[in-house]
Amino acid sequence: MSMMSEFKEFALKGNVMDLAVGVIIGGAFGKIVDSFVGDMIMPLVGKIFGGTNFTEMYYVLGAPTKAVEGATSYASLKAAGANLFAYGNFLTIVVNFAILAFVIFLMVKQMNKMKKAEPAPAPAATPEDVVLLRQIRDSLAK
């Protein structure tokens, strides 16, 4: 079998196509969760903690290699090549991961509920000699 025909057989299997669709949908869903966390959750959490902007929570570990343009912010320092310890950004990503993991857990749980339980296999027919021996036993027990 040639390499191309083997590859074609592999690529057209149902599992590979399902995986490809899952990766594409997962990437798109990840962007939705990123936006949800960054644009909705973290501003609310910041408001609760006294107006804190988590993306602006960092320590400058090393001076920027270029001149900082505009106001000194995380984005401008990062663009200028500063060495930053951005713990606020890390907290945002941890919250993002927790939400994404929880949603995936709920989806898997729902899929497991939707799977139909396979019926138990029917018991095999009892051999005729066993049936006859049972009849003899029952008639002797009387």
Question: For 57-111, how does the pLDDT look when each residue is reduced to its tens digit (9 = 90+)?
Answer: 888 888 888 888 877 888 888 888 888 898 888 888 888 888 888 888 888 888 8
Cβ atoms of 33 and 99 within 8 Å: the answer is: yes
The pTM assigned to this predicted structure is 0.57
Cα–Cα dist 67/104, whole Å: 43
- Please, what are the domains in the chain? 3-52+86-117 (1.10.1200.120)
Question: For 6-20, how does the pLDDT look when each residue is reduced to its tens digit (9 = 90+)?
Answer: 877 777 776 777 778
Percent share of the chain, pLDDT over 90: 1
Cα–Cα dist 67/51, whole Å: 29
Helix pair 14-36, 87-114: axis angle to 10 deg: 130
Structure tokens, 51: 């107006």
Structure tokens, 68: 């900082």
In this prediction, residue 4 carries a pLDDT of: 85
